[in-house]
């Protein structure tokens, strides 16, 4: 990787755990999510999807994209899908925990 991409990946990697934690906090309040919380989730999952895709982390990008699609549907996309969300979040967490270290 070139130096700029390496730095960008290091930032993506370092911010991922915090973003994951925040998304888990919000999802813990299901089904009582407001518009602002849904918007925040959309942004978080979209960033995961785009960043992971840029860095070639295909599975992470796919899982984040699935979560983004559910959130875009609003409450109808989330209510009654707790098990699916839990499975996707567990996969997202696993992918983030196993992100490769930046190459220096």
Q: Is the pLDDT of residue 60 over 90?
A: yes
| Chain position carrying tokens 């888990």 | 24
Domain count of the chain? Answer: 1
Torsion of CA 19, 25, 26, 30, to 10 degrees: 140
Q: Over 80: is that where the pLDDT of 77 sits?
A: no
Instruction: Answer whether residue 29 shows pLDDT above 70.
Output: yes
Question: How does pLDDT run across 31-44, given as a tens digit for each residue?
Answer: 888 999 999 999 99
Q: Is residue 32 part of a domain?
A: yes
Q: How confident is the model at residue 52 (pLDDT cuts 50, 70, 90)?
A: very high
* pLDDT at position 80: 84
- Tokens matching residue 95: 């992918």
Residue 26 falls inside a structural domain: yes
Q: Is residue 103 part of a domain?
A: no
Answer whether residue 58 is part of any domain. Answer: yes
With respect to residue 104, please indicate whether it lies within any of the assigned structural domains: no
Domain that holds residue 50: 3-97
């Amino acid at each position: 990787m070139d130096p700029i991409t390496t730095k960008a990946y290091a930032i993506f990697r370092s911010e991922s755990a915090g973003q994951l934690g925040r998304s888990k906090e919000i999802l813990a309040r299901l089904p009582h999510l407001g518009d602002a919380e849904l918007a925040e989730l959309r942004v978080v999952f979209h960033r995961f999807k785009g960043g992971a895709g840029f860095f070639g982390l295909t599975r992470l990008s796919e899982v984040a994209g699935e979560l983004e699609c559910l959130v875009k549907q609003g409450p109808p996309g989330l209510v009654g899908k707790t098990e699916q969300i839990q499975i996707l979040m567990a996969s997202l967490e696993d992918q983030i925990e196993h992100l490769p270290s930046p190459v220096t």
